[in-house]
Structure 1
């Protein structure tokens, strides 16, 4: 076939460029490196000799994405260290992470078959540097950074959540494709053993069907009829995919709240029924001092050095408040000390 193509190209007065092509020989399921293909008396390089990139994806002789996962972890580590070395403030480093590094990492995570365990390792590295840049203790739970139902909502996005939503969107697009050939083929998207995208999408669809049966319920302080309901049975195309992605995000957020309930100290905000939620925006963070951001986060999650916390951390022996002689907790210092209230210390 290559000889015939060479004859036709010579007749058309055109030439091949073998260096821009790649060859691959597979015999009995194994790659055969001894077979050499030539065109126009020039050798076509094999994939094992020179990997090729197509549509943002690299192909080599292994035909596996195992190395791509390790390369993505190295890319994340190098990016975090590069941001950490720059002389910017901590909040600016977090902004660079959210809007520069994470979008750069999401593309290989969506293109290659990388398991969710690798993405969890990347998020652990990201969380470590994010805590350092925000000036909070290393023991701060990840619920504080990504939970949308927390009393203090930060404008941060989780790379693990974006990875899962991206895989779910890809699966939904293949299943709802208008091409009959693509629609009939069962898509296989590998995400490891810990989390499977097919099960997550099926679970989200079942939850949406149940919500259609239950109907619209009031869950916040808005008035009745102030919000419009989207029904799964009436949705089509992109709207249907968006509903599935939103349901996956809600399930992930519900698990974060469940994790917070199990934390006796940092999960105390789950019992604050009368406290309104404060949602920070990047515009507000720009105008806040770094220590104020750190104080705000630590006060919500009870990580300030009150006497009770110092005793818990082994730094002090007496948890007594020097004013009211009670147990000095973060709540007592900020809002509940009777002596401080009578002396007008609260403003």
Structure 2
């Protein structure tokens, strides 16, 4: 039947309990004149962040008393503790709640919001794990009894969103994402029934003569990292503004350089002004200017600029191909965009 308690009432009750427990410990000092509140919660998930061990124990004791007053109980086996002293994980320090010991992340790693937390506090193994997950998932889709067009649908709407989340929450380099895309392209050509030598330009370029409704996981990875960086830079949270967490994407492609380049291109476009596009007349299209936008519109402009940069890279690759790139000179050919309804009617 599920829980019949109203979510709004439950959140209000949890807020009352957390407000009553905040006075048991002071804010955690992060340095640079910035501090973090000792309690952060979302629904029934609560994080206790303290600078001292005795404050943490006092906070847990206070929370246990308040929860028992509200006729609720903690489940210590679903909780995890992590103690850091002088930049290193301290496995000797343990905490208790509801008269039971809380397991440490060294003893039992925990997964929260799709991200694993363990004693290493590093993401070095996550890239290989994501690559292995992609290989196993592609093999499972290939072995199913569906037709090729439905396998592509499963890839685009089920597997790629599943892979994008760990690629964005972990610090995974872009070369690993390129290896994943190479595996995806191999199976995509097989399911489409096209020659194995078909370039990925024909599958993902948005201005191709025959545009397919498929998205590149490498392009989505770059756009997702750029969106995350711009959101962190424009955050109103004083803690995020002070700390400014860095995003590591490897040496081949750096998100900070890509975002800065996109901003400079947008500013240069504003200096040049509106120009004629293709064979359309001057003033037939509207343009957004960088100085007159803010918030989400600026982020969208940066993402569009990064996508245009990826398209320009594909154009350069197509021009270098003597045979597959011949269609770039077809000025009289009409561009056609296929939809998923068109693909479903194919006999693959």
> Do both proteins adopt the same fold according to a TM-score greater than 0.5, normalized to the shorter chain?
yes
The counterpart of 1:204, out of the listed 252, 258, 262, is 262
Counterpart of 2:279? 221
> What's 2:88 paired with?
30
How has the CA–CA distance of structure 1 residues 24 and 225 changed in structure 2, closer, same or farther, with 3 Å as cutoff?
same
Number of residues paired by the alignment?
290
Task: State how far apart, in whole Å, the 2-side matches of 1:6 and 1:109 are.
Answer: 34
Q: Which residue of 2 aligns with 1:253?
A: 311
Equivalent in the alignment of 2:3: none
Aligned partners of 1:69 and 1:118 also within 8 Å: yes
Distance change in 2, residues 1:51/1:144 (3 Å): same
- Cα–Cα, structure 1 residues 19 and 219, in superposed 2: closer, same or farther, change >3 Å? same
Tell me which residue corresponds to 1:235: 293
**Aligned equivalents of 2:95 and 2:185: distance in 1?**
49
Instruction: Write out aligned runs for 1:7-22 (5 A).
Output: 8=62, 14=68, 16-22=74-80
Q: Answer yes or no: is the 8 Å Cα contact 1:145–1:156 preserved in 2.
A: yes
Q: CA offsets per residue over residues 260-290 of structure 1, 9 Å max, x none?
A: 1111111111222222222222122222333
Residues 175, 187 of structure 1: 8 Å contact kept: no
SS in 2 for 1:229: coil
Judge conservation of contact 2:149–2:346 (CA < 8 Å) in 1: no
Alignment of 1:133-282 (within 5 A): 133-282=191-340
Alignment partner, residue 330 of structure 1:
none
Larger relative strand fraction: 2
State the partner residue of 1:83: 141
Change (3 A) 1:3 1:119: closer
For residues 212 and 246 of structure 1, the distance between their equivalents in structure 2, rounded to whole angstroms, comes to 15
C-alpha distance in structure 2 between counterparts of 1:180 and 1:13, whole Å: 30
Q: 1:49 to 1:267 in 2, by over 3 A?
A: same
Which residue of structure 2 aligns with residue 299 of structure 1?
A: none
Structure 1: distance between partners of 2:61 and 2:148: 64
- Aligned counterparts of 1:81 and 1:138: Cα–Cα separation in 2: 17
Stretch of structure 1 that moved more, 31-40 or 261-270: 31-40
Residue 54 of structure 1 and its aligned partner are, at CA, apart by: 2.5
Deviations 1:89-126 (A, max 9, x none): 11111111011110111111111111111111110110
Pair 63,6 (structure 1): closer, same or farther in 2 beyond 3 Å? closer
> What TM-score, normalized by structure 1, do the two folds share?
0.78
Deviation, 1:13, is 8.0
* Alpha-carbon distance change, 216 to 52 in structure 1, aligned in 2, over 3 angstroms: same
Question: SS state of the match for residue 114, structure 1?
Answer: coil
182-191 vs 162-171, which deviates more?
182-191
Structure 1 pair 242/5, CA: closer, same or farther in 2 (3 Å)? closer
Secondary structure in 2 matching 1:201: helix
Q: Which runs of no fewer than 5 residues in structure 1 stay unpaired?
A: 291-347
SS of structure 2 residue aligned to 1:168:
helix
Structure 2, unmatched stretches of 5+, are 1-53
Q: In 2, Cα distance between the equivalents of 1:13 and 1:31?
A: 29
Deviations 1:61-82 (A, max 9, x none): 1111122222211221121111
What is the CA RMSD across the aligned residues, in angstroms? 2.1
Q: Distance in 2 between matches of 1:175 and 1:13?
A: 37
Closer/same/farther in 2, CA of residues 39 and 135 from structure 1, 3 Å limit: same
1:120 aligned to which of 178, 196, 214 = 178
Aligned counterparts of 1:22 and 1:13: Cα–Cα separation in 2: 18
Greater radius of gyration (CA): 1
Q: Paired residue for 2:343?
A: 285
